[in-house]
């Protein structure tokens, strides 16, 4: 994929998603940190349901630490792996209290030293809370990078490095949220919504399924861009 096509992709994503941001509800950097830790192998929706009640009861490192393990588990028991996550959150809060004056640090090294915080979580905090141009590669960004050919790689780190190397600089700050939202709602794991996709003619996914009505309306498309792809009549629901 060349630089011109990459730029066009991000121009369209930015136009389609004018306010790219996390869907994890939070009122502070600390709340965001806890929400991200809890979101591992869980949905943002499920995390938000739990943290709405948790953060009303306790929303500082000391307050959550004071809940104790069982007290915290009471609030997050609907989230997968809640017991292990509760242990990490309590330990993380203790470390924030003891080593960081109850403040969330703003460097990768110090963030990744916190219990429950790995590279992906650190990238989310650095980008969302501190405005640093980092890319947190989750399941959506990994799939999207390899599927569209924006950033191919066999592992998360390889995909992250490819994104950082090739994303146009003017979109690097918002790229994480543009891509995660596009992957979550349009370029889904199963049955990607190619007919609703704003970059359908730019993406290099060889198995895309494009409704015929979409092709007729797509001014930027060429015979080459649709070669070998499946076209369906979406108005009748009949394959062609």
Kindly give the confidence (pLDDT) of every residue in the chain, 240 residues in length, as a single tens digit, with 9 standing for 90 and above: 899 999 999 999 999 999 999 999 999 999 999 999 999 889 999 999 999 999 999 999 999 999 999 999 999 999 999 999 999 999 999 999 999 999 999 999 999 999 999 999 999 999 999 999 999 999 999 999 999 999 999 999 999 999 999 999 999 999 999 999 999 999 999 989 998 999 999 999 998 877 665 444 444 433 333 334 443 333 333 333
Q: Are the C-beta atoms of residues 150 and 130 closer than 8 Å to each other?
A: no
Residues of the chain with CATH 1.10.340.30: 1-190
95's tokens: 């470390």
| Residue 139 DSSP SS3 | helix
Residues annotated as catalytic are 120, 138
Q: Under 8 Å CB-to-CB from 52, ≥6 apart: which residues?
A: 25
1-190: CATH architecture: Orthogonal Bundle (1.10)
């Amino acid at each position: 994929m060349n630089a011109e096509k990459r730029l066009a992709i991000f121009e369209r994503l930015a136009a389609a998603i004018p306010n790219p941001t996390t869907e994890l509800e939070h009122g502070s950097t600390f709340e965001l940190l806890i929400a991200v830790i809890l979101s591992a192998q869980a949905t943002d929706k499920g995390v938000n349901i739990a943290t709405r009640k948790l953060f009303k009861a306790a929303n500082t490192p000391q307050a959550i630490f004071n809940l104790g393990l069982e007290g915290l588990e009471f609030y997050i028991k609907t989230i997968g792996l809640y017991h292990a996550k509760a242990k990490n959150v309590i330990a993380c809060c203790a470390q924030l209290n003891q080593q960081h004056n109850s403040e969330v640090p703003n460097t990768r090294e110090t963030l990744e030293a916190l219990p429950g915080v790995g590279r992906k979580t650190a990238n989310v905090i650095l980008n969302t809370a501190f405005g640093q141009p980092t890319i947190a590669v989750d399941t959506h960004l990994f799939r999207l990078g390899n599927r569209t050919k924006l950033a191919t790689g066999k592992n998360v780190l390889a995909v992250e490095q490819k994104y950082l190397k090739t994303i146009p600089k003017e979109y690097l700050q918002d790229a994480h949220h543009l891509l995660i939202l596009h992957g979550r709602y349009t370029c889904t794991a199963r049955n990607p919504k190619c007919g609703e996709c704003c970059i359908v003619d730019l993406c290099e996914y060889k198995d895309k399924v494009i409704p015929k009505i979409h092709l007729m309306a797509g001014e930027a498309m060429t015979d080459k861009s649709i070669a070998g792809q499946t076209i369906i009549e979406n108005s009748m629901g009949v394959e062609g």
